Amino acid sequence: MPTILVDSAAMDEERPGETGLTRSVPALSFGVVADAYDSARPSYPREAARWLVDSEFAHVLELGAGTGKLTEQLQALGHRVLATDPLEPMVRHLVRRLPGTGAVLATAEQIPVRARSVDVVVGAQAFHWFDPRRALPEIARVLRPGGHLGLVWNLRDERIPWVRRLGALIDSPGQQNDPTHALLASHLFGFVESSTFRFWQPLDRRRLHDLVRSRSHVAMMAAAERDAVLREVDSLYDGYGRGADGMLMPYVTHCYRAVVRPPALTEADDGAPTGAGDGRGEDDGALLIDFP
C-alpha cells in the first residue's frame, strides 16, 4: 500500500469519526460510513470523466476524492491523478481500490501542492462541503495558466415517483449543487460550462441499505431514528424492487468546468502566489507534494 501523506496543518487535532464531531458536522460523518459509501455509491460515466478533464493526458488533482469512484475513471482515461480527502477511512478505501495511486490526507481549503503544478482540479460530490472563500483561491493557486476546475455530482432522477419517495426519506433539505454563482463571484474563474449525462445503477436490498446509510443526513441520526428510516426503505424496496434482480436507480450526472483567470496566478516578488486562501507561501514549512 502506498504511503498516505498527511498535511498535519490541514487536519483537526481530533480525527473525524472518532469523536462527537460527526454528530455536529455533516461533512465528517462520512468517515464512519466509509464501507457503506464504497459499497453503494455509484461511479461516474466514463464520458463524464472525459468531459471534465477535456484532454488526452493531464496532471489531475482530485479534491474530496472519497473512496476513489471518480479517480478510477480518470486513471482509466490515462490521466495522472493525485487524490486528496480529509478523512482517513475514505483514503484507505481509495488506495485499496487503486494500488499505487498518490493519495493525501488534505482539505480543499489548504492544498499541499505547489503553485502552478496542476493541469486540472476536479471534485466529485464534494464542492458543496468546501468553504469557497478559502478553497477557490487555493484551487486557483495550484492550477497552471489555462488550467481549469471541473466539478461533478450524481443526482437521482426524481421525476420518477419511487425515486422521489426515496429522496424524501433520506435527504437533508435544500442541498445546492450548482457551483456557477460561487465560481463567478470569486472572480478567479471565467465562463462556467456545463453538461449532463445519464445512467442507471443496479441495487439489491443490501446495497440500497448501504446507499441510504452513506447519506450524511442519515449517518448523523440516532440509531433508533436511522433504523426507522431503513424500515421505510425496506417497504419501498418491497413495492418497487424486482426480487433477485433488485431495482435500477436512475441518475443524472451534472458536470461543470471553468478556466482559471490569469490574474489569480499573479506572483509577488518573493515567488509566493497572491490570493491564496490563507496567505500561505511556498516556504513556510507546509508539506508541499509533487505528483508521484
287 is a domain residue: no
What does the pLDDT read at residue 176? 58
Average pLDDT, the chain: 81
- Tell me phi and psi for residue 11, to 5 degrees: -105, 150
Joined grid coordinates for residue 171:
435527504
Domain count, the chain: 1
Higher pLDDT among residues 211 and 183, named by residue: 183
CATH of the domain at 27: 3.40.50.150
Tell me if residue 143 falls in helix, strand or coil.
strand
Res. 271 pLDDT band, cuts 50 70 90? very low
> What does the pLDDT look like over 56-103, one tens digit per residue?
999 999 999 999 999 999 999 999 999 999 999 999 999 999 999 999
**9 has a pLDDT exceeding 70:** no
Confidence (pLDDT) at 172 = 58
Give the torsion sign (CA, 218, 220, 222, 223): positive
CA distance 201 to 197: 13
How far apart, in whole angstroms, are the C-alpha atoms of residue 38 and residue 158?
23
Say if 280 falls within a structural domain.
no
108-142 pLDDT, tens digit each: 999 999 999 999 999 999 999 899 999 999 999 99
pLDDT value for 287: 61
User: Which band of pLDDT confidence, cut at 50, 70 and 90, is reported for residue 33?
Assistant: low
Residue 135, domain extent? 5-154+175-198+251-265
